[in-house]
Structure 1
């Protein structure tokens, strides 16, 4: 693990690491090398997000937070780049430690549930320059430490997280491939009925479970309730629709199953800290960042 991580405890004999930041430690760290050179080779847990980029294979590994990670499947002799960051740096709604930040819209990929804690994403050829250049820019900011370097570093990190979110848009497919058929079915119901009024009872009826049992299973596996996932998927769809300039906020609210535009706007602001109209004006930069 990098110097900014600290062993804070053990869980069932497995070491747990935390991103250890202060006024002198930047909220993002980058390491280069081979998996064989990393100090931690055993299964371990960290309560902060990690990306491992292997440019030769054009692969990005999204390393699950809060889960036991087995690094052994990574090619030991393959050059790679690790990007570690404190989720608190993304804003107060991403407050550290895990799992309090998991509702942040850009951090959902880090709770993917893939076996072994590693979700493998193949980068298309046209996205590889973005990753190479953005990681290099982060390193330059961290090395130079000029005025505003923290904000610049977080801006570059946000670009990477947006790309990860786009690469993992197929939530249902990811869950099916990771051996979670029930969760896949739950998400399929939510996405299919997203434009309608939808409750926990509705989802439970479709998957043939009682609301109480479904709540227990989904919360245990993802850390969130079915209702929270319904709202997250509605907000995700709303962000997409806000890119269509001819749609009013009221029309977007209706399309994501919220007939009251005022309630929709309040939910959107609660999730993103900006109103739907502000998000539309600023685009992805509507996700604000703060220096710790």
Structure 2
């Protein structure tokens, strides 16, 4: 295993950067056996690119998942989700970035993982990863608007390179997997039968595809996607709870708040206080 060198840098991008672009809040690399993270929740999104080695990702309440990781692969970390991850005894090569920003939704729609797919297998190593992380190392360590823009550009280059290396999932159609298409339409108020018809499957076939990819029923998957988007909006915007509820597919803000609390363990207002980086008036 070729070590990438061990380093880490953190940043606090200004509010304008966090509002309009994908902003980078930290990056680093390390290799070999590492003490695992356990029961950690982040205030931002994160990605952990495992170029070599094996280990596992754990997600605690509310879902209780344990997903094996074999490089090359990416672990996607969602704000506020209690998680852990680590290599097996043989260690791994780990490259990570902390980031936030609404533009990430475009990458999710194009096929990157997220709340609904926390571990994503890649068909090949990420192209130019060494050069991109070299840029991130320099940019995140610097201070000022130019450095913040440079780290944003490097983060987006990394996301695009990961997208190019994503393993096509079973049931891929027109360059987008069935699961991605269901995720893309999750905020629409549709029955399971209507969602199945929209991707050319029977209700039973759709249920089998979604369960195989995520371990969830179609309805539970739709709720997970909605709640993940709501978490991002709470953390990254000043929209009120009613506006966020409407954006993620709920006409009734009170019902949305009950679902959100049941799924995350916190009311939307509490989640925002814990995770928001944009000042809320």
Range of TM-score over shorter length? 0.3 to 0.5
In terms of fraction of residues, the more helix-rich structure is 1
Larger Rg: 1
In terms of fraction of residues, the more strand-rich structure is 2
Which structure is higher in RCO with an 8 Å CA cutoff and minimum separation 6? 2
- TM-score if structure 1 supplies the norm length? 0.46
